[in-house]
Chains A and B, each alone.
Chain A
Amino acid sequence: MATIVHEFDNTFEDPQKRPPLVVGDHSFHTVTEAVCRINESPTAPALWWIIFVGGVALLANLGAMIAYLFFTGVGVWGLNNPVGWGFDITNFVFWVGIGHAGTLISAVLFLFRQKWRTGINRFAEAMTIFAVICALLFPGIHVGRVWLAFYLFPLPNQMGMWPQFRSPLLWDVFAVGTYFTVSLLFWYTGMVPDLATLRDRAKTKIAQIGYGIFALGWNGSARHWHRYERAYLILAALSTPLVLSVHSVVSFDFATSQLPGWHTTIFPPYFVAGAIFSGMAMVITLAVPARVIYNVKDIITLHHLDVMNKCILATGSMVGFAYITEFFVAWYSGNNYEWFTFKNRQMGPYWWSYWIMFTCNVIIPQIYWFKWARTNIPLMFVISLLVNVGMWFERFVIIVTSLHADFLPGAWDTYSPTWVEYLTLAGSFGLFFTFFALFLRFLPIIAIAEVKGVMPRKHAHGHGHGGDGHGHLEAAR
Chain B
Amino acid sequence: MHHAETIDIMQEPRHLERARTVGHQALFVGVAALGAGVAVALFGGKLDGFLKSYLVSYTYFLSLALGALFFVMIQHVTRAGWSVTVRRIAECITAALPIWLLLAIPLIAMAAKIYPWMTQTLLSPDMAALVEKKRQYLNFGFWAGRIVLYFLIWSWLAHFFYRKSIEQDSTGDPKLSHWMHQRAAIGLVLFAFSLAFAAYDLIKSLNPGWFSTMFGVYYFAGSVQGFFGLLIIVVAWVQSSGRLPRAITTEHYHDMGKFMFAFTVFWAYIAFSQYMLIWYANIPEETRWYLSRQTGAWAWFSVFLLFGKFILPFLFLISRWPKRMRELLIVGALWILLMQWCDQYYLIMPAENPESAGAGQLPLHLNDLLCFIGLGGIFIWAVTQRMASCSLVPERDPRLHEALAFENY
Contacts and interface: CB of A to CB of B under 8 A. Distances in A.
Interface residues of A, number: 33
Interface in A233-285: 241, 244, 248, 252, 255-258, 263-269
Interface stretch (B105-113, B141-149, B272-280): B272-280
Contacts, number: 86
Contacts of B278: 265
B398 A15 contact: yes
Interface of A, secondary structure class, is helix
Nearest to B137: A332
Given A252-B276, A268-B273, A318-B192, 8 more contacts: A14-B178, A248-B269, A258-B283, A264-B213, A268-B270, A325-B213, A332-B211, A334-B209
A15 B214 contact: no
A269 B79 contact: no
A263 B269 contact: no
B131 to A, nearest CB: 8
A302 to B, nearest CB: 17
Contacts of B174: 14-16
B138 to A, nearest CB: 8
Interface string B45-82: 00000000000000000000000000000000001001
Contacts of A244: 269
Interface in A87-124: 113
Interface in B162-212: 174, 177-178, 181, 185, 189, 192-193, 196, 200, 209, 211-212
B365 interface: no
A336 B233 CA distance: 48
Interface of B, secondary structure class, is helix
Contacts of A322: 213
Interface string A318-335: 100110111001001111
Contacts of A353: none
A335 B213 contact: no
A329 B212 contact: yes
Interface string B214-230: 11110000000000000
A265 B177 CA distance: 37
Contact of A15 (B181, B209, B215, B280): B181
B100 to A, nearest CB: 24
Nearest to A325: B213
Counting from the closest, the 7 A-B pairs by CB-CB distance are: A266-B213, A15-B177, A265-B214, A268-B273, A256-B280, A15-B398, A333-B211
B15 interface: no
A257 B286 CA distance: 13
B196 A325 contact: yes
Interface string B120-158: 000000000011011001000000000000000000000
B270 A269 contact: yes
How many of chain B's residues touch chain A, expressed as a range?
Answer: 35 or more
Contacts of A268: 269-270, 273, 277
A14 B274 CA distance: 42
B281 interface: yes
A66 B213 CA distance: 39
B134 A265 contact: no
Given A13-B178, A15-B398, A321-B192, A334 B216 contact: no
Contacts of A335: 285
B216 A325 contact: yes
Interface string A296-321: 00000000000000000000011001
30 contacts: A13-B181, A15-B174, A15-B398, A15-B399, A244-B269, A252-B277, A255-B277, A256-B276, A256-B281, A258-B283, A263-B281, A264-B277, A265-B214, A265-B215, A266-B213, A266-B214, A267-B277, A268-B277, A269-B217, A269-B270, A318-B192, A321-B193, A321-B196, A322-B213, A325-B213, A325-B216, A326-B213, A329-B212, A332-B137, A333-B211
A68 B134 CA distance: 52
Contacts of A241: 265
Nearest to A244: B269
B121 to A, nearest CB: 19
A332 B209 CA distance: 9
B281 A334 contact: no
A263 B283 contact: yes
Contacts of A255: 277, 281
A317 B77 CA distance: 15
Interface in A205-256: 241, 244, 248, 252, 255-256
A36 to B, nearest CB: 28
A268 B127 CA distance: 29
B167 to A, nearest CB: 14
A268 B209 CA distance: 23
Interface string A351-376: 00000000000000000010000000
Nearest to A263: B281
A369 B186 CA distance: 9
Contact of B277 (A15, A265, A326, A334): A265
A13 B189 CA distance: 21
B273 A15 contact: no
A77 B217 CA distance: 39
Contacts of B200: 332
Given A329-B212, A333-B211, A334-B130, A265 B192 contact: no
Interface string B280-295: 1101010000000000
A337 to B, nearest CB: 11
A343 to B, nearest CB: 15
Nearest to B282: A258
Contacts of A333: 211, 285
Nearest to A336: B133
A326 B215 CA distance: 11
Nearest to B285: A335
Given A256-B277, A267-B277, A329 B79 contact: no
B189 A317 contact: yes
Contacts of A248: 269, 273
Contacts of B79: 15
A265 B213 contact: yes
A324 B216 CA distance: 12
A244 B209 CA distance: 30
A334 B135 CA distance: 10
A373 B72 CA distance: 26
A244 B281 CA distance: 22
